[in-house]
C-alpha cells in the first residue's frame, strides 16, 4: 500500500479521497522542521505539503520514493521545483479554488484601511468617543477612485470585478498586456508601471513571487505613488521591502497600507504593528471553510492521479509519465 505523508492538519475532505492509502499525518502544534520532514518522508510515495512547509533539496533527497509533492496552496515558492523536476517528481498546487476568497479579502482590507475600520474598532474598545461630529474620524471613499492592479490574472480580475461594483476605475500593469476582449470585460486599462504608480489611488498586488520580483515595491515605488494613495498586498510578502514600506508610512509618503502577507512571515516587522494607518491580517486570503475544503480535495486528487500512473490535475512542472 502506498504511503502518503501529510505535513500538517488539513480539512477532512481529503480523508475519504485518500482512504485507500496509508496516510501518515504530522500532528505537531508547531510547523514541522526540516529534520522532521526528512525523517517522515523516507518511505513516502507522495508528500502533501503546506505552503508553510519548505521542501528543500535536502528533503527531496530524503524522499527517495516520492512520485509527487502536492502543495496545499496556490503558491509553490516553498518547493525547490527545479530540483524536484530533475528527480522526476511531480509538483502540483491548488490554483483557481482560492480566487474568490482572496479577492474578497483584498476588498475587505482595502475598505478597512481606507475607512479606518480597525482604528475605529480599537477606539470603541478603549477610550470610546464623544459622539458624531462633522470633522471626526474621516476616511477615504473608494467610489470614483482609481484602483491599480499589478498582476491581472485570475485573482486580479476577480478583484477588478468586485471593484467595479464600487464604481472604481480599473487600471492594471504587468509585463504582458491582455486581450482587448478581457480588458473590455472588466473595463480595465493597461498602463505602464510608472503610470500606475503615479495615478492610482489604491494599488494592490496579485502576482506570484519569483526571485526577479523580489522587492518589486520599495522606496522608489512608494515615492512615486500619490501621498493620498493606499497600498494593499495579499499576494506574497517578499514582493515588498517592508523596511522601506514602514518609512513611507511613517513619513506619510503614502496614506496607508493593508497587508495579509509579510516579508519575513510568520514574523511581522515590529514597526508595522505600531502604525495606525496600517491594517494587518495573518495570511488569511483563502481562509474560508469553502476554499480550504476545496484545496484539500484538489491536493488529494492530484496525489491519487499520480499514484495511479496518470498526470496530475494541476501540475506545476512537467514530468513524462512512463507507461
Cα separation, 51 vs 67, whole angstroms: 19
Catalytic residue among 90, 206, 283, 292: 283
Q: Which CA distances in Å does 82 have to 1, 101, 174? A: 28, 29, 24
Domain with CATH 3.40.50.720 in the chain: 3-95+289-307, 99-280
By residue count, the chain amounts to: 323
The overall average pLDDT reported for the chain is 96
Specify the 3-state DSSP secondary structure of 272. helix
| Per-residue model confidence (pLDDT) at position 30 | 86
Using CA atoms, how far apart are residues 159 and 129, in angstroms rounded to an integer? 34
Q: Quick one: pLDDT at residue 309?
A: 95
d(CA 21, CA 224): 55
Query: What's residue 227's pLDDT?
Result: 98
Burial class of residue 161, CB neighbours in 10 A (0-12, 13-18, 19+) = middle
Fold for 3-95+289-307, please state it: Rossmann fold (3.40.50)
∠ CA 19-24-26, rounded to 5°? 130
- The residue among 172, 165, 175 whose CA lies nearest residue 142 is 165
Q: What are the pLDDT digits (tens) for 5-45?
A: 999 999 999 999 999 999 999 998 888 999 999 999 999 99
Helices then strands, counting H and E runs in the chain, come out as 13, 12
Quote the pTM value.
Answer: 0.92
Segment 36-71, tens digit of pLDDT: 999 999 999 999 999 889 999 999 999 999 999 999
Which candidate in 236, 242, 253, 305 is catalytic? 236
Active site residue 252: no
**Is 236 among the residues known to form the active site?**
yes
CATH number of 99-280: 3.40.50.720
Catalytic residue among 36, 265, 271, 297: 265
Q: How confident is the model at residue 75 (pLDDT cuts 50, 70, 90)?
A: confident
Amino acid at each position: 500500500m502506498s504511503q502518503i505523508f501529510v505535513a500538517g492538519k488539513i480539512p477532512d475532505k481529503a480523508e475519504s479521497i485518500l482512504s485507500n492509502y496509508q496516510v501518515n499525518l504530522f500532528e505537531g502544534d508547531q510547523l514541522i522542521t526540516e529534520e522532521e520532514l526528512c525523517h517522515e518522508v523516507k518511505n513516502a510515495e507522495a508528500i502533501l505539503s503546506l505552503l508553510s512547509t519548505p521542501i528543500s533539496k535536502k528533503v527531496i533527497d530524503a524522499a527517495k520514493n516520492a512520485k509527487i509533492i502536492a502543495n496545499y496552496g496556490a503558491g509553490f515558492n516553498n518547493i525547490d521545483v527545479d530540483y524536484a523536476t530533475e528527480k522526476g517528481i511531480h509538483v502540483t498546487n491548488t490554483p483557481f479554488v482560492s480566487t474568490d476568497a482572496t479577492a474578497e479579502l483584498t476588498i475587505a482590507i482595502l475598505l478597512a484601511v481606507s475607512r479606518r475600520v480597525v482604528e475605529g474598532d480599537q477606539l470603541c474598545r478603549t477610550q470610546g468617543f464623544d459622539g458624531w461630529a462633522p470633522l471626526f474620524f474621516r476616511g477615504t471613499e473608494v467610489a470614483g477612485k482609481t484602483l491599480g492592479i499589478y498582476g491581472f490574472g485570475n485573482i486580479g480580475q476577480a478583484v477588478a470585478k468586485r471593484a467595479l461594483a464600487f464604481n472604481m476605475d480599473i487600471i492594471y500593469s504587468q509585463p504582458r498586456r491582455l486581450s482587448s476582449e478581457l480588458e473590455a470585460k472588466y473595463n480595465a486599462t493597461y498602463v505602464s508601471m510608472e503610470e500606475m504608480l503615479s495615478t492610482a489611488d489604491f494599488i494592490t498586488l496579485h502576482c506570484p513571487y519569483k526571485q526577479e520580483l523580489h522587492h518589486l515595491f520599495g522606496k522608489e515605488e512608494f515615492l512615486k505613488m500619490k501621498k493620498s494613495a493606499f497600498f494593499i498586498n495579499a499576494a506574497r510578502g517578499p514582493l515588498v521591502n517592508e523596511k522601506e514600506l514602514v518609512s513611507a508610512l511613517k513619513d506619510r509618503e503614502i496614506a496607508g497600507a493593508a497587508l495579509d502577507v509579510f516579508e519575513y512571515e510568520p514574523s511581522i516587522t515590529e514597526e508595522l504593528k505600531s502604525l495606525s494607518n496600517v491594517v494587518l491580517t495573518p495570511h488569511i486570503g483563502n481562509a474560508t471553510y469553502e476554499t480550504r475544503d476545496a484545496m484539500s480535495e484538489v491536493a488529494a486528487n492530484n496525489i491519487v492521479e499520480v499514484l495511479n500512473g496518470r498526470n496530475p490535475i494541476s501540475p506545476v512542472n512537467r514530468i513524462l509519465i512512463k507507461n
